[in-house]
Amino acid sequence: MKKVLKTTNTIIYSLLFILLLVSFSIGFVLLCWPLYYLMIDLFNITNLTGVSKSDLIFSFNELMSCLVFYKEPFSEGVFAFSESGMNHFLDCRILFTLDLVVFAISLPLFFIYLLLMGKGKIKIYHPFSASPLFLASFVPIILLGAFAIFALIDVDSAFKFFHSILFPGKTNWVFDPKTDPIINALPMEVFLSYGIIILSIIFIVLISVITVNSIRIHKNNNVRIYKSRR
């Protein structure tokens, strides 16, 4: 029974870490609106849309207020929109809400686990004398790394694959600039930039976890070798 409980706690602890990291990374770009303001100049979005920077910022703020904070009525600022376009954004709102809820739940649970482990109330396995997060970190690195390579090879196919997974059976994510001109304010470069930021945060944390634990494993092995020779 103790082994089952210890295994369960190890899995839960590792999953909480991954969920916390991924939801934080996504939540960061959802809530850090100034990132888009920087992209307006970086990608010459005013030229793409014929809309001033102040109107672009206003429109982005209006849209994100509806998607993140449920502001009503639905608005895209100075941009007109179709019912199909609005429905896609409302689908996005469900995913955004899910991400923030996952973050809000995983954050306290992860630190509760850390506290209880520190007090010896919860026991977990330490493979190779390292944190279980060491092995857990390899899974998202492999999966996200494979997707990142796929995106580098064929951005359009990766974009379509990504949307087919998140919005199964729906095609309203394909915007017509004539009926939903806001798509011109959200060129592919914007989505790619957000993706790069999200993946960078995830990879930096995971690689840091792997590096720290690799050093710990190496030191422990050296200690064992030293003791065995005495």
pLDDT band of 41, cuts 50, 70, 90: very high
Q: Which residue has the higher pLDDT, 81 or 2?
A: 81
What's the predicted TM-score (pTM) here?
A: 0.91
The answer to whether the beta carbons of residues 179 and 85 sit under 8 Å apart is yes
For residue 228, is pLDDT > 80?
A: no
> Which of 16-30, 107-121, 154-168 tops mean pLDDT?
16-30
The confidence score (pLDDT) of residue 154 equals 85
pLDDT band of 179, cuts 50, 70, 90: very high
C-alpha span between 43 and 148 (Å, rounded): 22
Which candidate, 47, 49, 15, 64, places its Cα nearest to that of 194?
A: 64
> Which of 58-67, 188-197, 205-214 tops mean pLDDT?
58-67
Q: Which residue has the higher pLDDT, 224 or 122?
A: 122
Provide CB contacts within 8 A for 61, sequence distance 6+.
33, 77
C-alpha span between 26 and 44 (Å, rounded): 24
For residue 227, is pLDDT > 60?
A: no
pLDDT band of 229, cuts 50, 70, 90: low
The confidence score (pLDDT) of residue 53 equals 97
List b or e across 59-69, with b for residues whose CB sees 16 or more CB atoms inside 10 angstroms: bbbbbbbbbbe
For residue 149, is pLDDT > 90?
A: no
